[in-house]
């Protein structure tokens, strides 16, 4: 797909100082291309480091191929970049991890995440992979809200949590699946020993 035909994410150009107006091109794993402002990219620690390491000039951006993001599809990446453009310039929250911080979902984010759970799942994976802290916080908050007022039994159904019995059964099945190979290795080892080899390797 050419750059001209790429689905460009809406950008509030007035909010970006003229001298810093720099865009990068990214390509999803299904060959959809996006132009994203430098300020928006700063929300993603992963992408920010990547473009810094590449040291692209404006000409490079136009002349070189778009930066490929191989494990995120276009539909998900569009949401990610829309979120980054909307929140560009905002401080990235720091969480020391000990005491849970209260996270509110802003109206824009709520609308952006008014999607089916399959796409929300992909969005969280993308936010985690691209290390976009606040997008991860709000999307996880949306998933956390699904637990509101649920009993443990209801929660097991919503989050597809296996019961103790199911966990036990899965563990036994995994052990049984592993055993034939373990037996083979053991037999091979014994056979080599009989043949007089000192080492298995």
Partner 1 sequence: MVPVTPTFPVLKLPLLARENVIRRMTCLDRMSFSLCSKRSKRFLKSLRISIQEVQIQISNAITLSIPKMDEEEYKFTFDNPAECLESSFTVTGSMLHVWEDEDGDWHEGENEKSTFNIPNFSVREWVAHILDIIDSPSLSLEFHEDCDLFSVRDINQLIGNLERAELTIYEQSTPNEYLLEVLETFRPTKYLCLSENPFPNALTFRKYLRHSIDAVILRKNLKININEIYSMNCISASIHNPQISTSTLNTMLKVWTEGWTPRMKLISLHYSLRRLGENYMEEILDGLEYLKIEEERTLKEPLSDASRTFEKSYDIVRKDGQRATVYPRIYSDGDGMGMEVYITDE
Residue 49 or 64: the one with the smaller Cβ distance to partner 1 is: 49
* List 52, 167, 186, 187, residue binding partner 1 (CB under 8 A): 167
- The per-residue DSSP string of 85-126 comes to HHTTTPPPP---SSSPPP----HHHHHHT-S-HHHHHHHHHH
* Contact region with partner 1 (CB under 8 A), list: 34-42, 84-92, 128-136, 187-195: 128-136
* Contact region with partner 1 (CB under 8 A), list: 2-10, 29-37, 140-148, 188-196: 140-148
* List 31, 49, 64, 150, residue binding partner 1 (CB under 8 A): 150
Residue 37 or 139: the one with the smaller Cβ distance to partner 1 is: 139
- Token pair listed for 56: 């692209």
Q: How far apart are CA 115 and CA 112, in angstroms?
A: 7
- The per-residue DSSP string of 32-83 comes to -EEEEEHHHHTT-HHHHHHHHHHT--HHHHHHSPPEE-TTS-HHHHHHHHHH
* Interacting residues with partner 1 between 65 and 104 (CB under 8 A): 97-103
- Token pair listed for 10: 């809406």
Please, are residues 112 and 80 in contact by the beta-carbon 8 Å criterion? no
Number of residues binding to partner 1, judged by CB under 8 A: 45
- Does the protein bind partner 1 through residue 118 (CB under 8 A)? yes
- Does the protein bind partner 1 through residue 185 (CB under 8 A)? no
* List 4, 13, 107, 164, residue binding partner 1 (CB under 8 A): 164
Q: Is 26 helix (H, G, I), strand (E, B) or coil?
A: strand
Q: How far is the CB of 127 from partner 1 (least distance, A)?
A: 8
| CB-CB neighbours of 21 under 10 Å | 13
Q: How far apart are CA 7 and CA 20, in angstroms?
A: 22
- Does the protein bind partner 1 through residue 106 (CB under 8 A)? no
Q: Interface residues with partner 1 (CB under 8 A)?
A: 97-103, 114-118, 120-121, 124-125, 127-129, 136-137, 139-141, 143-152, 155-164, 167
């Amino acid at each position: 797909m050419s750059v001209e035909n790429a689905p460009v994410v809406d950008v509030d150009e007035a909010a970006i100082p003229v001298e810093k107006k720099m865009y990068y091109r990214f390509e999803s794993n299904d060959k959809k291309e996006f132009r994203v402002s430098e300020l928006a990219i700063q929300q993603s620690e992963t992408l920010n480091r990547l473009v810094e390491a590449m040291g692209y000039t404006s000409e490079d951006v136009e002349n070189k191929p778009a930066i490929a993001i191989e494990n995120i599809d276009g539909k998900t990446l569009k949401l990610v970049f829309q979120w980054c453009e909307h929140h560009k310039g905002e401080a990235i929250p720091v969480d020391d991890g000990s005491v849970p911080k209260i996270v509110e979902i802003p109206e824009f984010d709520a609308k952006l995440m008014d999607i089916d759970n399959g796409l929300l799942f992909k969005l969280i994976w993308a936010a985690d992979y691209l290390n976009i802290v606040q997008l991860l916080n709000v999307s996880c908050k949306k998933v956390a809200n699904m637990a509101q007022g649920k009993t443990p039994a209801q929660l097991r159904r919503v989050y597809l949590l296996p019961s103790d019995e199911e966990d036990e059964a899965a563990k036994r099945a995994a052990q049984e699946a592993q055993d034939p190979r373990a037996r083979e290795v053991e037999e091979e080892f014994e056979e080599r020993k009989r043949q007089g080899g000192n080492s298995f390797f």
